[in-house]
Amino acid sequence: MIRFDHVSCAYEKGRTVLRDLSFSLEKGEAVGLVGANGAGKSTLMKALLGLMPYEGEITVDGLKVEERNLREIRRKLGFVLQNSDNQMFMPTVAEDMLFGPLNYGMKREEAEKTVDEVLLSLGITELKGRHNHRISGGEKRMAAIATVLAMKPEVLLMDEPSSALDPWNRRMVIRTINALPVTRLIASHDLDLILDTCGRVLLLSGGRLAADGPAEEILTDRALLEKHRLELPLRFGGENPR
């Protein structure tokens, strides 16, 4: 579903962020993207969305990530941003959730039904008519996730999905991620969340792929994690990174 073939990215000459990355994600696979700050996780997602110039080749469902294919590619991708304030721009949660589906041609009746189903699945039906500037950070985080799910993406990209969430909402997000049949790529410092949602992990370090393998195998390897400035998950004795 997603393929990176010798991909490199640089923000400016002499400042390379991704270095010769090659990997692929199969349809329906859930993969965690981990690494210390500055490892290149967010840049990788931006490149996948066509927001970053790159060398090499990136494809989504066989389509090369380039200008002529971006509209079709972006219909397949749903991206939950790290900062929910950058994602929510309509007056109410419901209007935000309807915006994408309606603009991609979904009929209003179907879009409204989808909104109700997504809100129910996340346990946040009470947010439907709420104004975005009058909800808490955690509520806005849940609403931002709902906005992306309402578009029914084939690939879900999530950048720090558990940030600002209380334990209850964090559990709801984990359940929702695990119930989705779509391809999922989740970047997070919350390694316990990665263990709960992903069967495979890509470990980035200095813009390079330092490890690629089963989540439990990589995330229980203290020496490997510490070498790349990461702690063990909390359940294995690590410290809370937040």
pLDDT mean over 203-219: 96
> Rounded to whole angstroms, how far apart are CA atoms 135 and 237?
34
> What's the mean pLDDT in 145-151?
92
Q: Does a structural domain hold residue 70?
A: yes
> 148 lies in a domain?
no
Contact 23, 212 (CB under 8 A): yes
Confidence of residue 79 (pLDDT cuts 50, 70, 90): very high
If you count them, how many residues does the chain have?
A: 242
Highest mean pLDDT among 164-178, 193-207, 228-242: 193-207
Share of the chain above pLDDT 90, in %: 71
Residue 163 lies in a domain: yes
pLDDT at 240 (0 to 100): 58
Give the pLDDT confidence score for residue 238 in this predicted structure.
Answer: 65
Total domain count, the chain: 1
Judge whether 98 lies within some domain: no
Domain of 179, CATH number, reads 3.40.50.300
> In terms of DSSP bridges, do strands 2-12 and 15-25 run parallel, antiparallel, or are they unpaired?
antiparallel
Complete edge-to-edge strand list for the sheet that includes strand 30-34: 77-80, 155-159, 183-187, 30-34, 200-205, 208-214
Which of 28-32, 68-72, 85-89, 121-125 has the lowest average pLDDT? 85-89
Query: Is 43 inside any structural domain?
Result: yes
Q: Which domain holds residue 22?
A: 2-87+154-236
pTM of the model: 0.89
82 or 152: which leads in pLDDT: 152
Is 120 inside a domain boundary?
no
pLDDT, tens digit, for every residue of 10-51? Answer: 987 667 899 999 999 999 999 999 999 989 999 999 999 999
- Is 115 part of a structural domain of the chain? no
Looking at residue 12, its pLDDT comes to: 73
198: in domain? yes
